[in-house]
Each structure stands twice: as structure tokens, then as C-alpha cells.
Structure 1
Amino acid sequence: MQAVTTIGFDIAKSVFQVHGVDTVGQVIIRRQLKRRQVIGFFQKLPACLVGIEACASSHYWSRELQALGHNVRLMPPAYVRPYVKRQKNDMADAEAICEAVTRANMRFVPTKTAEQQSGLMLHRTRHLFMRQQTSVINAIRAHLAEFGIVAPVGRRGVEELLRVVADPSDKRLPEIVRACLAALGSQLLSLKKQILDFDRMIMAWHRSNQTSKRLNCIPGVGPLLSTALVASVADPKTFRSGRNFSAWIGLVPKQNSSGGRDKLGSISKQGDRYLRGLFVAGAFAVIRYAKIHGTKHRPWLTALLARRHTKVAAIALANKLARMAWAMMATGERYNYPASLKV
């Protein structure tokens, strides 16, 4: 019996499935492992190719198995799914992973470092608190509207509503309602403080990272987006071009081409939604600034705004910003300002 050379490793929370084959594709290992058995099992194996779907905890297991000498490759689950034969279960998934990892045209996901995952957790936690803040504000507005109390949109409007809640002399609110709204107001203040703390942590990380500081020079790319890019992109050279990177974010048009006829639709919106949202927000900021201060130094944007709607122009500009960010990350170059701004 030959030694195992390729393993498909289907990971989960507590039960893992292993499918191993030799050089000719003969099945050598097909077994189930508990979480505590995984490290010991791979320690006994000779160095081999291990395929894992890029999902929850996959980067951790990739780092652990690489430390044992194995060649670990992470793959998007959507690219592994076509290799699953008939019924889906852990055994079939591990077999499909084992087959997919050997394909020459398979696309792989670089393993993130612990520092990059820490940065992503920082961003995701802040984003969660931002959504919770919006939810609490909407709840306060909706509850007070039931009693005929409304305020203008914006931060000052919410502060005005909270002053009404804190005023015991205002008899429009029953005591039970006032108590509930006071609790929501307290939660809102706590969320704002936590978001501010996370903003300070992101800024500190941004100042300590050279790549993030270089990306921050791109118009529309601030510390939030630049640190998110550093945390999300383990190896920019994984992408062949800026267009591939932009497609990974979901900023390129969908294609429905056939017979030599190219048909392009709206953007695909596939990939990292968080990065896509930050790029689009940055593009809108550039357009707002250009409309106020003029666009003479950006002829491309001037021509685009002249013939397209602002939202369409923002998506096109976000696509352009993403390509510039990739080029700077892949080559290590700095942002080149337009010649008109250097005068």
C-alpha cells in the first residue's frame, strides 16, 4: 500500500472528516475525527497536500497543519461544490475536496495570519455595533412617534428625542414608556462609546502599518478602508490583475455573453460586501468633494459625470479605486497624484 499524498479535510465544529488518496488516486484513508484527535492524526502522517474549504476556522487549521509540515490549500466552497457526487454528507464533501484540490485550474485562498484575522475581527465587531446603533436609533424614533413625538433626521434629532425622554416634566410619555426609552438611550450611549474605542484601535493599527498608510493616500480611501484591505488581502499577487481584484469585491459587471456577443449587466455584487460598501462610500465622498471644489484636475471623472448618473459614476469610480489599491499593494508603489495637483 502506497503512502497517502493528498487529503480532503472537511472541517466542522467538533466532527471532522478525512479522505486521503495515494499518487494513483486509490483511497487510503476515509475516517471521522473528533476535534481533539486532529492534531495527533496529522502529526503521524508524512507531509502531504491537504485541501480545506475556506470557511469558519479554516485559516486556523491551515496555520496549524502548515506548522506540522503539510502543504495546505484553501478553496472557496462554491468551487468545491461541483465535485460533490449525488448526496451531500461529510464523507462526500471530504472526497470532493480531495479531488478539487488537485485540479490545475482551481483557485485557492491564501491563509491569513493571526494579525490579519485580528484586524478583521476588529472591523466586523465595529460593523456589528454600527448596525446595532442604527437599530436602537430606529427603535427610539419609532416608539416616540407612536406618541406623536418626532424629530429631524440626524444626530441632533436623536439628541433632541433623548432630552424629551430625560425630562420628567414632559407628560406626553407614560412612565413605563419613559423607562423603556431611557434603557434604549443608555444602550445607545454605550454603543457610541464602544464604536469610538474601536475607531481609536483602528487608527492606531493604521499608523503602525506601512501598507495601510500608503493606501490612505488614494482619494476616497481612509484609515477604515485601508486597514480593512490589509486585513482582508493576505497576498495581493494572488490576483492576476486589478480587474480580478475588483471582480473579487463584486464591482465589475455581470456577463451573459455567448456566440461572440458580449452582454454586460449591473455589477455582480459577489465577494466581500463590507469592502464593496467601503469603496462605494469612498467614491461618493470623492464625487461630493469634486462637485463642491471642481473636477478640472480629474478629467475622467468630469466626463463620466457629464454622461452618467451620479450613482453609476460612483460605482465606476469605486471600481477604479479598487484597481489602484490592488496595484499599490502588489507593487509596493505610492499613489501618484494628478499632474494638475502637483503644480
Structure 2
Amino acid sequence: FRERFAESVEDGGNELPGLTRVALLRGWTRIVELDAEIDWFDKQVAQHAKNDPNARRVTEMFGVGLITASAASATVGDGRQFRNGRQFASWLGLVPKQNSSGGKERLGRITKQGDAYLRTLLFQCARVTLTAARRRQDRLARWVTQLVERVGYGKALIAIANKHARVLWAILAKGQRFDPAHDGRPAGLQRNEAPIAS
């Protein structure tokens, strides 16, 4: 389309009225201008992500690109305003709404409160993670594959976005690096040991 559009419109044999031809070419000029503008903004985002140490660490996350890393770093900063990853995920609206009464806890849909743009980006990252997990063999990919089989695509997408938010908080607030083999056990425990219950 991009290669042939202008040539096709300018072709005298297409029987387009003159005014239509002019309008289409003006629209085409605007598309070319917008493409150049988008390209400029993409370069600015990439530059920010390369220069910002937090954004650089965030790009190491599985499924996270430059736009999400830059947006997370710019929106959240160092993440220390949140006590933990769950509070951060809650702020993004990635936790279920609770309707508890009479000792019975009922979980509803995710709240979708908080920063809609960053939440949307994390859902996009979750889609990438889910798609790519089929080709990978690390611990995170196995968890994703089993999760989809257990709860289905939609719920798995929410769970992965929630997990991404928690990992994102650990990277920003604690300066940790992303490790797809991380199993959540305290340091010092071997793989075959279970954590000691407190």
C-alpha cells in the first residue's frame, strides 16, 4: 500500500475525479508527516530508556520493551512510594475487587483503577510473554504455560500482567535485576528445599 499508493492515485488511467485525486494526495502527505513524527517520538523514547538506569533494568524483563520501560520509569520513579509489589499492582488496578461479607470472601473482576496507560502497556507485555512462553523453557515460561492450561487465556493474561507489575516494582524499588529462573524462595535455600513456615 505504502509503495504503490501515490503512484496509483497519480495514474491518469484510474478515472478518479480531480478533486478526489487532490484530496487523496493531501491525505497521503499527512500520513507521511505523521509517520515521520511517530518515528521521532520513538527515537526519543528509546533514548530515554537507554539513559535512564531504572528503564534500562526494566527492559531486561521478559516481554517488556522500550515504551513500557520508559513509561514505567517516568510514571512511577523509584517505586518506593509503594510498600510492596501487591500495593503497586493494586494501584494499577490489576487486583480483583473484594466483596467480603459474613466471613466469606468473594473476589470480582479486576478494579481497573489507577494508571490506565501503564496498565494497558502491562497487558500488552503479558500478551507478548504468553505468546513467547511456548518457545521458551525457563521457569517463568513453564509457569505461564501451566497457568493458561489451568485458568484459560483471559485470566492468565491478568495474572501475568499482575506478576509483571510486582516484578516491575521490585526492579524499581529495590534495584533488583530480572531473573526468569527466580523461584521466590529466600536467599540461601536450595532448589529442593521448602521455605520454613513462620
TM over 0.5: yes
Provide the rounded CA distance (Å) in 1 between the counterparts of 2:8 and 2:101: 62
Specify the code of the residue in structure 2 equivalent to 1:169.
Answer: G
CA contact (8 A) 2:92 2:116 kept: yes
Question: Structure 1 pair 310/163, CA: closer, same or farther in 2 (3 Å)?
Answer: farther
**Distance apart, 1:183 and its partner CA:** 1.5
Give the secondary structure class of the aligned counterpart of 2:39: helix
CA contact (8 A) 2:130 2:145 kept: no
> 2:105 aligns to what?
262
CA contact (8 A) 2:59 2:65 kept: yes
**Distance apart, 1:225 and its partner CA:** 0.7
Q: Could you say which structure has the higher strand fraction?
A: 1
> 2:12 aligns to what?
168
**Distance apart, 1:159 and its partner CA:** 5.4
- TM normalised by structure 2 equals 0.83
Indicate the larger mover: 222-231 or 258-267: 258-267
How many residues get paired?
A: 181
Specify the code of the residue in structure 2 equivalent to 1:326.
Answer: W
Give the secondary structure class of the aligned counterpart of 2:12: coil
CA contact (8 A) 2:88 2:166 kept: yes
Deviations 1:305-335 (A, max 9, x none): 1123223212210110010000111111111
Provide the rounded CA distance (Å) in 1 between the counterparts of 2:5 and 2:153: 34
> 1:322 aligns to what?
165
CA contact (8 A) 1:295 1:302 kept: no
Provide the rounded CA distance (Å) in 2 between the counterparts of 1:335 and 1:199: 24
**Distance apart, 1:256 and its partner CA:** 1.8
Question: Structure 1 pair 160/255, CA: closer, same or farther in 2 (3 Å)?
Answer: farther
Specify the code of the residue in structure 1 equivalent to 2:9.
Answer: V
Question: Structure 1 pair 263/159, CA: closer, same or farther in 2 (3 Å)?
Answer: farther
1:215 aligns with 2:58: yes
Provide the rounded CA distance (Å) in 1 between the counterparts of 2:151 and 2:157: 10
Give the secondary structure class of the aligned counterpart of 1:265: strand
Give the number of the structure with larger relative contact order, counting CA–CA contacts within 8 Å between residues 6 or more apart.
Answer: 2
Give the secondary structure class of the aligned counterpart of 1:236: coil
1:178 aligns with 2:7: no
Specify the code of the residue in structure 2 equivalent to 1:232.
Answer: T
Specify the code of the residue in structure 2 equivalent to 1:312.
Answer: K
Give the secondary structure class of the aligned counterpart of 1:237: coil
**Distance apart, 1:163 and its partner CA:** 4.7
Where do 1:120-131 residues align within 5 Å?
Answer: none
Where do 1:101-116 residues align within 5 Å?
Answer: none
CA contact (8 A) 2:54 2:78 kept: no
CA contact (8 A) 2:93 2:112 kept: yes
Question: Structure 1 pair 262/187, CA: closer, same or farther in 2 (3 Å)?
Answer: same
Where do 1:36-75 residues align within 5 Å?
Answer: none
Of residues 103, 119, 125, the one that matches 1:276 is: 119
Identical counterparts, % of pairs: 36
Provide the rounded CA distance (Å) in 1 between the counterparts of 2:138 and 2:167: 20
Provide the rounded CA distance (Å) in 1 between the counterparts of 2:76 and 2:113: 16
1:236 aligns with 2:79: yes
> 2:133 aligns to what?
290
Provide the rounded CA distance (Å) in 2 between the counterparts of 1:205 and 1:335: 20
Question: Structure 1 pair 265/312, CA: closer, same or farther in 2 (3 Å)?
Answer: same
1:204 aligns with 2:62: no
CA contact (8 A) 1:212 1:226 kept: yes
Deviations 1:192-250 (A, max 9, x none): 11110111111111111111111110101111111111110134111111111111111
CA contact (8 A) 1:295 1:301 kept: no
Question: Structure 1 pair 295/175, CA: closer, same or farther in 2 (3 Å)?
Answer: farther
- TM normalised by structure 1 equals 0.49
Specify the code of the residue in structure 1 equivalent to 2:35.
Answer: K
Question: Structure 1 pair 337/309, CA: closer, same or farther in 2 (3 Å)?
Answer: closer
Provide the rounded CA distance (Å) in 2 between the counterparts of 1:331 and 1:218: 15
1:188 aligns with 2:188: no
- Higher Rg of the two aligned structures: 1
